[in-house]
Amino acid sequence: MTITSLRHPFGIFLWLMVALVMVYILAPLAVIVASSFGTTGYVAFPPQGFTLRWYEQALANPRYVNGFLTSLRIAAIVTVVSSAIGIAAAYALVRYEFPGSRLIESLFISPLVLPGLVLAVALTIFFSRNPIATGTDRLILAHLTICVPCVLRVVIPVLQRFDRSIEEAAQNLGASPVKAFFLVTLPVIRPGIFAAAALAFVMSFDEVEMSVFLASPREQPLTVALYSAVQLAFDPTLAAVSSILIMITFAIMVVHQVVSRIRSAR
């Protein structure tokens, strides 16, 4: 008798709980997607009728389109820069054993467990005193503080699992250390790097607190545009924008799953 079988009361209880919790986790997203097609002039669930009008309006609204493009640009820059910084640091921490490397690792990762809002307030005070960057650059720098730790956390275990004798073999065959890294190590740990980069990208794209405090008013990221719009009105256009984001994310996840299935099947 397995514990998850439906042949005893506990199993039935377990399945019931699981069904309820799954609904709890997923229903809100489903509600938003469903209500984005409703014909009422406010967001209503269950939706009435069917229309694509709100999608047309969302795509015609420069606030959301520009916000989307701004977020995309910020996230792309943050991803590239934080991946480069994070991979270099991860390599140093894993390959060179030196006293205190474990401590440095946990220190570098610590910004992730601290309140984003506090980081945002601290950085706002910091930038007002030290005008080292302006406009969108400030937000990009701010996002580095959380995206670099994020890359570190994903890449460090990947590097630890990497069999370093392959790297040594390349060096014994005459490759310079740098060449060995780019020709041997990097291709092997590529899936881990992709995972880290994807995570950094999503973190930057979805981030709210720092964006609210530091974004340039002329170049608002999408989360800021949504955050301020949601407080004002229950415009179905917002449901359409949210649904587009949900569907893009879902599509990327499905593609990622399928690709990794095909990879592992090979």
Partner 1 sequence: MGGALEPRDRRGLILPKWLPPALLLLPAALVFGGLFVWPQLGLFATSVASPPPIGFATYQRFLGDSFYVAVLVRTLSLGACVTLVCLICGFPLAFFLARLESRWVPFLIMIVSFPLWVSAVVRSFAWMVLLLRNGLVSIWLRDAGLAPAGFQLMYSFAGIVIALAQVLLPLMVITLYAVIKGIDRDLENAAMNLGASPGRAVCLVTLRLARGGIFAGSLLVFSLSISAFATPSLVGGATAQLMAVAIYEQTLEINDWPFAATISAILLAIALSVALVYGRLIDGRNVPVR
Nearest distance in Å: CB 40, partner 1: 11
Question: Whole-number minimum distance, CB 218 to partner 1, in Å?
Answer: 17
Cα–Cα distance, 252 to 56 (Å, whole number): 23
Q: Computed from CA positions of residues 257, 258, 259, 260, in that sequence, does the dihedral angle turn out positive or negative?
A: positive
Nearer to partner 1, 101 or 190 (CB): 101
Query: Which CB atom, from 34 or from 59, has the smaller least distance to partner 1?
Result: 34
Q: Which helix (H) or strand (E) holds 188?
A: helix 186-188
CB of 52 to partner 1, least distance (A): 19
CB of 108 to partner 1, least distance (A): 5
Nearer to partner 1 among residue 29 and residue 59 (C-beta): 29
197 alpha-carbon distance from chain centroid: 9
Neighbours of 33 (CB within 10 A): 18
| Chain centre to alpha carbon of residue 260 | 18
Question: What letters, b where the CB count within 10 A reaches 16 and e where it falls short, cover 116-142?
Answer: beebbeebeeebeeeeeeeebebbbbb
Nearest to partner 1 of 59, 198 (CB atom): 198
Q: Is 51 or 249 the residue whose CB approaches partner 1 more closely? A: 249
CA dist list (Å): 92 to 28, 89, 212, 245: 43, 5, 34, 37
Min dist. Cβ of residue 60 to partner 1 (A):
20
